[in-house]
Structure 1
């Protein structure tokens, strides 16, 4: 019972984060409407120029948009965390018989649930637009697991941004400013081969490109061992670097008085 109580408390705090959407339904728009618009507009506006047709480009674009949206959604982990810090919610949590890590873990678990919903939504829209799986059926659950592992790792970056930022508006400013070059200087929208030689090397090692290649391989079939391994290595690296920094920064901020 003692072992499961912290887990129950974490899940309760995760549910708290999820039901807050009822009070801010526009948050769902950021999770869903924006990526769907990206997918539809890029498919039919640029599909003919880049791939010779919308159907061929959809097969290339959908995995990339899923990964890009995954990165953007992590900003809301930092945004929500910063909101709790600046409004004194974390101070109230400290007065309760909770593990110190439970509020942060609850926030991250809630984000993973939202990430899974976004992935399924984009896959559903993709199928409505004509996307069809070329790989084996287990490619979808394998892709989900891989993306959630990477989402967890990338979330630590935004946890750090959320802790060190002065207010939620700065979290979004710093977060999206950092993510735009990372996501657009990648193979999300165009093949690496079409880029200048000096840029191809940068794009090839970009974690967004590595994860996108892994998702394409899992959904379309073909060899995926190298790309999946690369995506997992990036996940481990991001976690090892940013998780300790985030926890240290959070403890330091709480020691100074939260907000």
Structure 2
């Protein structure tokens, strides 16, 4: 079984299997203020670049925001997220409209499970909006990653972004760090383009909160369900029943 090598210090290594990292990784929505070592993040981002990409284009463009710049971003977004629920137009729609089944039911179940842990009623719109705005505080994380892409890139290259980001999250987990990928940042394309000083030919795809999970936060007990294999896999084999 393959191992992810966790390098804590020279001469000292721990290991976590790939299977263990995949199982342990979850979207964390409450972080401790404990700083994240920048050297660790640098190593993760460099190693994650071994992720596959069509034609080896490596279309990901990553911005790391921490310390004073992150405080500035959080202060900016605390105001902006209360001014408007989203900027219009956005560069892409996060979900199709309308969202068909079974995807709508899965999204609804995820949201309701999270709000139940937070003890926020379906009818409490103010608290739900306030919780949504926590996205733009990175759920208290001390470091944010922002993934951008050239506007000329198409769907195949966006798939490459996903493979890179998943590799990043698994490598972070192997080092004891937690994360939460956040497409919600795409709701503020112009604010983020200005903050990150993006050229016109680039756009923001998503953000990612990185840090240490708060073990006492109820929301971090959320473990979303996954569909059974039979719901999304069809085996084409020599067996007449499968082909």
- TM-score, normalized by length of structure 2? 0.27
Indicate the structure whose relative CO is greater, using CA pairs within 8 Å and at least 6 residues apart.
2
The structure richer in helix per residue is 1
- TM-score, normalized by length of structure 1? 0.26
The structure richer in strand per residue is 2
